Structure 1
Amino acid sequence: MRWGCSHASSLDECSVGRNGAMMADPRTESRVPIGQQVYLPCDERVGEPVVPAPNLPNPDGHFKSFAEIYSLFGLNELGQHNQAKGKFPVPQVISVKPKNWRTDKEFARQMLAGANPVCIKRVTEFPLTSELDRCMYGDQDSKITRDHIEKNMSGMTGEQAVKDGKLYAVDHHDFMMPFLKRINELPGEEEKGEISEGKTLPHPEDEQLGAVSTVYTPPDTGDEDIVAEWFTIWDLAKAHATVNDTCKNNFVYHWRNVNATMEPLAIATNRQLTVLHPIHKLLKPHFCKTLYINSTARQILFGSGDRRESGEIFRGIQEVIYLPSKYGLEMASQAYKNWIFTDLPLPKDLINRGLAKGDPKNPEKLELLIKDYPFAVDGLELWIAIKNWITDYCSIYYVDDGAVTSDSELEAWWKEVRHVGHGDHCEAPWWPKLDCVGNLEEICTTIWLGSAFHAAVGLRQYTHLGFVPNRPTIACRAMPEAGAEVTESDFLGSITPRKEALWVMTMTGLSMMTKGEVYLGQRPEWWTCDERAADALARFQSRLEAVVDNINRRNRDPGLRNRAGAVELPYTLLTQTTVPGPVGGGIPNSITN
């Protein structure tokens, strides 16, 4: 397995020179001083103008032992509950079986039901190859051979596994590799004392010479022989892989595919559709707080070495606690070049990743290749419920295609989304034309991103990231040679240090449900006076209740081992509602944190 509020585009915040360096671009947005407020319409402003950063201690170095981490949650040295009160709530990933997060089965399960369940892909060609330009980066193809994987495949050959759809990979190599040299050169003079060094391993002499490739494989002992104080180089390899996965989830699948994708839709809806327009009434609840959250994110999360009037360098929180540091948003911008609006719907995404077969327009009949894939199974049911709601609603006001093409407000709305919100992609051939009811329904079903998809990849991250060894965000040392001995201290010294870990725990702990949250399917009684629309909403609410019942039933099924896994953590991220606190469920209507 290989691992590797200006109305400009939300992702086009920097231009990149031929050598990869950041360049100033007057066409892109600039940040206002940290003490000033970002302009937002009155009905979009929530809370204080600027959200203050959490006030945390500034401890140096790395955790010395797992007992030190456990003590933060009021647990004893074995990770078990005692009478002590911790500074943080116990992350669910260690709340029942505190050591089972280390098993290979749990490591793999979290790629299907963890904090980032949307990167796993079916392997269709083996060995894996790189799409990076060989003139710039040399040979970046995977050096994993059949001998490396077949010993763990119960007698199945690599060829047979590929043919039968039994081989899958999470591969972040091409996403990370172009940035590794610059990441390894951090921290620079302006960042010293603010970020910890991150270490990965491109070629030490020249990027054009290719990658330094070392293949690490599991030890022969297996999951049953895990000892609390005993570590192997395989544990370190999994930690490095997880760092890559955590970073791509944060900057691409969360920021790019959710916050930045929903923002142009929200702005165009406010500017081009009157409040009485039926599509405005449909979409508005799914944009609540989004512009506020995004403007706040640009103020305190993505600082990227922003020099303030006082002369101080302000570094955004996520530029400090994730491996890419000040290159995180640039990596998201690079990934935006491959962003395709019509690939965002869940059925199309599953098909593109080789996880499903069938017609994306007929999601009820999609065949999942991994039957016990909690995110996909629950997500498809939710997608279908959302799509049916959109179809029911749109059919009330658009009885035929002519009703769509004659709607001048809709035409202006969609033109702004394409040509202003996504100006760099406006001429792409994949944009759906707003010339029929079916395409209007597909476009409006994008509310999936700001609700259910956001719940799966962005909310309740504390469940998994709150215990930093399970989902580290920084790799601080290069991987040792294969076969090297690894101690508990070596492991902890190679991942997210104390200070950054406390920031991760605090930030992910804040991303939970709050009192008064409005969940998917909930709206005030006065949202419409049209009984037909109210009836359609009631049908949607009934469908959502059925989805929750099905999720609970699946979670009780002992034959579905990926529903809870070795850590005994039921997959509830896509249940409709929850209660306030750091729990693993609930789908807000919009991006509210």
Structure 2
Amino acid sequence: MVGTLGIPALSANSAPPFDLPMPFGDPAGPGTVNPLLPQYDPNPAGRAAELGRRQSKYVWTETANYVQGVPMAAALSIEDNPTLEWFTMAIDQQYQVVSNILVALTKHFSHLVGDLLQPLVDQLSGLKGTIDSVVRTVAPILENPVAYPLDPVARAGEYLALQTGETVLRTLDQIRDGLFAALRQMFNSPGLGNFGTADGVERYLQLYATLPVPAIADRIHEDMDFARMRVAGPNPMVLRHVHGTMPANFPLDNEGYQSVMGSGDSLGAAISQGRLYLIDYAELGSAASESATYKLLTGPGYNTAPMAAFAVPADGGELQPVAIQCGQDPEKHVMFLRPGSGDADRYWGWQMAKTVVHTADFNHHEWFSHLGRTHLVSEAFCVATRRHLAANHPLSVLLTPHYEGSLFINNVATYLILAPEATGDLIFASELQYSIDAAGRARLDWDFYEMMPPNEFAERGVDDRHLRYPYRDDALLIWDVIHDWVVDYVHTYYLSDDDVRDDFELAAWADEIAQVGKVKGFKRIDSVDQLADVVAMIIFTASAQHSAVNFPQRDFMEFMPYYSGMMAAPAPTDIAGHAESDWMRMLPCLLTSIAQMYVLDTLGSIHYRPLGDYRTNTFPFANAIDDPRIVGAGGPLDRFRAALRNAEDTINDRNSRREPYTYLLPSGIPTSTNI
């Protein structure tokens, strides 16, 4: 869930208990291997000894830092460290976002910050030359990694880059800590709470001093964009088809429906024709208590569990919003119906209701769809693979690049986002432990087979293609490409179902994932076809699914007037009579806004190693897969990469005929959950 070592840690208790690691992988790491199923390996004793060493190195825990009850790795190994390339990208991104915040505060909010930040500005300016020197040192190494180990000058450059890079990241961390310390000192200054009320959205725009303003800033009140977030936004996994009747606790009637969709349509027709959809955030539980949560640094924060209805018009077209209820109980929460273009009296109440939905969606996205159902899921498979599939097991060879960076990212996240008074505490309304518990529930409730894309879309009733649904269409395309690649790969090594059943490492791996890793629905594998489904799902989750929920954060979720993790005022209770100032009072304070920008701009900015890139994380970054049966000309890997290029062309063609959806373009999907 984090992209660098520079996520704000605002208390001494939240500092990671480890030094900055070497970012270059294990210099004594394994070279190329001859992939063999264990039942055919002529050296079973050596293989067992290797697995024994790995099992002593990778140990499960359910008390990993602040995440309780979720199986994770108790500690990391050197092979889990980032690469030189990732390290350089992280430094560059950290500099950009820290620089932007400092420039914005000193330029536009000098009446608040005074001279508090000038030493930090000076420190950051002095750091720029050091960063440039690291980039200059690293560039030739990355351009010619094969020659690098043979060049003593380049070897010296590696260690210089390491030492300098550690200094740069530590300095960036110090600047960041100083920034948030200054903001804490200013917390009671006028204008910090509800700081946008006086000047409207302009105050939030002023936070973008050197970073580009997200394009959505020009359309934050557009109803069609609000609907589009359900099918092409950061969290497009909540929308469900309404079957039969409306839920009892969402009393939308025909009169209300027709007031929005017109007298030529009806609620009954929309339901019977499969054109009515619902989003429901009841799953948030205690992370959406509705009452205020008071925090020292951010004041009162609110979040609820709203419900909202959407419909496709009778004559077809894009999904449209119909109605919003700002909580689960209709006795307490009125029904907001989308107003017509001339209905000024209900306009701002409707905007407030949409903000309630986006706040809930932000919380559900980060804790459920993002952290719980990509990061923590991939961790379970990574740990089990390290422990039970030998380095020369064909599945270990294939899957290891799809775990690259995952354990490191997750470990850093637990300290720098989930710790008390760290960014999670600043961004979200609920008590942090409630949110962390929600993420844990999301991970443990995630059912492996049910969540395979074809099954998941069918279960939500959104597999009917009359619904224009970019995420679904592109996800299924990428799923098919990955699945075809995996079928090619596994059939190279497993010539029959008996080969699967006789693979005792695979059996131990599956048992541990199900029983110790607590992946719901997981079970032993009995056939080659089932194995292909399983491996495709692991790869899809670590790459494409994570990409779909991660990269929209920068484009949509970092712009606070559109999406935020908390509201500064409660949900509206009156349909009409609101003004823009009422809506503005719901938006987060300066400290929350800066923390949100800091984290989400970082997360949405680093695209590292695209899908189809199978290299090790050890210099000189040799191919992780070198079996001629796989990598030979015209072989499975060539076919996979060609299919990815074709999928890119298909999505680009789709984007020429729809509002562009880019988050599943193969060139932008990282191979692993490394950010």
The answer to whether TM tops 0.5 is: yes
Q: In the alignment, which residue of structure 2 is the partner of 1:385?
A: 481
Residues 1:526 and 2:623 are matched in the alignment: yes
Shift of 1:112: 0.8
How far off is 1:13 after superposition?
Answer: 6.8
Superposed, 1:493-504 pairs within 5 Å as: 493-504=585-596
d(CA) in 1 for partners of 2:226 and 2:449?
Answer: 31
Task: Tell me which amino acid in the other structure corresponds to 1:218.
Answer: R
The Cα of 1:319 is off from its aligned counterpart by 3.0
Query: What residue number does 1:591 align with?
Result: 673
Give deviations 1:162-184, integer Å, cap 9, x for gaps: 11110011111x22355544x62
One-letter amino acid matched to 1:157: S
2:231 is matched with which residue: 112, 115, 120? 112
Corresponding position of 2:309: none
**Which residue among 314, 330, 345 is the counterpart of 2:437?**
330
Query: Do residues 555 (structure 1) and 671 (structure 2) align?
Result: no
Report SS of the residue matched to 1:102: coil
Q: Deviations over 1:454-502 (max 9, x none)?
A: 1111224110012211112212222333234333322121122221111
1:218 aligns to 2:338 (yes or no): yes
For residue 662 of structure 2, what is the amino acid of its counterpart? T
- Structure-2 residue corresponding to 1:163: 272
Residue 351 (structure 2) pairs with residue 351 (structure 1): no
Distance 1:243 1:523 in 2: 38
Alignment partners' CA distance in 2, 1:259 and 1:102: 32
- Does the aligned pair in 1 maintain the 2:71–2:380 contact within 8 Å? no
Give the secondary structure class of the aligned counterpart of 2:663.
coil
Q: 1:369-414 CA deviation, whole Å, 9 max, x = no partner?
A: 41x2111111111000000011000000001100011111111111
1:337-384 Cα deviation digits (max 9, x unpaired): 53211122111111011011xxxxxxxxxx5241x2111111111000
Residue in 1 aligned with 2:562?
470
Is 1:93 equivalent to 2:216 in the alignment? yes
Under a length normalisation based on structure 2, what TM-score does the superposition of the two structures give? 0.67
Assess if the C-alpha contact under 8 Å between 2:256 and 2:337 holds in 1. yes
Report the Cα distance in structure 1 between the residues aligned to 2:223 and 2:517, rounded to whole angstroms. 42
- 2:507 maps to 1:411: yes
Deviation at 1:261, TM superposition (A): 0.7
Deviations 1:177-196 (A, max 9, x none): 55544x62522xxx423554
Kindly indicate which of the two structures has a greater share of residues assigned to helix: 2
Match of 1:311 in 2: none
Distance in 1 of aligned mates of 2:61 and 2:448: 17
Return closer, same or farther for 1:211/1:501 CA change in 2, 3 Å cut-off: farther
Change (3 A) 1:368 1:144: same
- 1:546 equivalent in structure 2: 646
Query: What secondary structure sits across from 1:341 in the alignment?
Result: coil
Instruction: Choose the corresponding residue for 1:61, options 175, 185, 193.
Output: 193
2:297 matches 1:193? yes
Q: Which residue of 1 aligns with 2:529?
A: 438
1:122, 1:169 within 8 Å by CA — same for their partners in 2? yes
2:665 is aligned with 1:575: yes
Larger radius of gyration: 2
Code of the aligned partner of 1:572: T
Are residues 347 and 10 of structure 1, via their aligned partners in 2, closer, same or farther at CA, if it must alter by over 3 Å? farther
Contact persistence 1:258–1:449 (CA under 8 A): yes
Superimposed CA distance per residue, residues 10-54 of structure 1 (whole angstroms, 9 cap, x where no aligned partner): 999777xxxxxxxxxxx77899xxxxxx83111002367999494
Aligned partner of 1:292 among 400, 404, 408: 408
The alignment partner of 1:280 has SS state of: helix
Q: Does the aligned pair in 1 maintain the 2:242–2:277 contact within 8 Å?
A: yes
The amino acid that maps onto 1:547 is A
Closer, same or farther: CA 471–28 of 1 in aligned 2, 3 Å: closer
Aligned residues: 487
Q: Return the alpha-carbon distance in structure 1 between the equivalents of residues 374 and 257 of structure 2.
A: 35
Distance 1:201 1:571 in 2: 27
Which residue, out of 404, 422, 425, partners 1:316?
Answer: 422
Paired with 1:542 and 1:436, the residues of 2 have a C-alpha distance of 27
Amino acid at match of 2:579: T
Structural mapping, 1:271-286, within 5 Å? 271-286=387-402
Correspondence for 2:147: none
Contact 1:319 1:328 in 2 (8 A): no
TM-score (norm 1): 0.76
CA contact (8 A) 1:111 1:120 kept: yes
Deviations 1:253-300 (A, max 9, x none): 111110111111000111111111100011000000100011111111
In 1, the alpha carbon distance for the partners of 2:568 and 2:645 equals 45
Distance 1:417 1:378, change over 3 A: same
- Aligned AA for 1:321? I
**Where does residue 135 of structure 1 map in the other structure?**
none
Cα pair 2:500 2:525 within 8 Å, conserved: yes
Which AA in structure 2 matches 1:125?
G
Unaligned 5+ residue runs, structure 1?
A: 16-26, 32-37, 74-85, 130-140, 304-313, 357-366, 558-562, 565-569, 578-585
> Can you list the C-alpha shifts for 1:533-574, whole angstroms capped at 9, x where unaligned?
1121111110010111111111111xxxxx32xxxxx21111
- Structure 2 match to 1:241: 357
Distance in 2, Cα, partners of 1:142 & 1:6: 47
Partner residue of 1:398 out of 481, 494, 504: 494
* Residue in structure 1 matching 2:76, options 17, 40, 49: 40
Report the counterpart of residue 362 of structure 1 in structure 2: none
Cα distance between partner residues in 2 of 1:200 and 1:109: 21
Conserved 8 A contact 2:62-2:72: no
Q: Which whole-Å CA distance do the structure 2 matches of 1:261 and 1:454 have between them?
A: 11
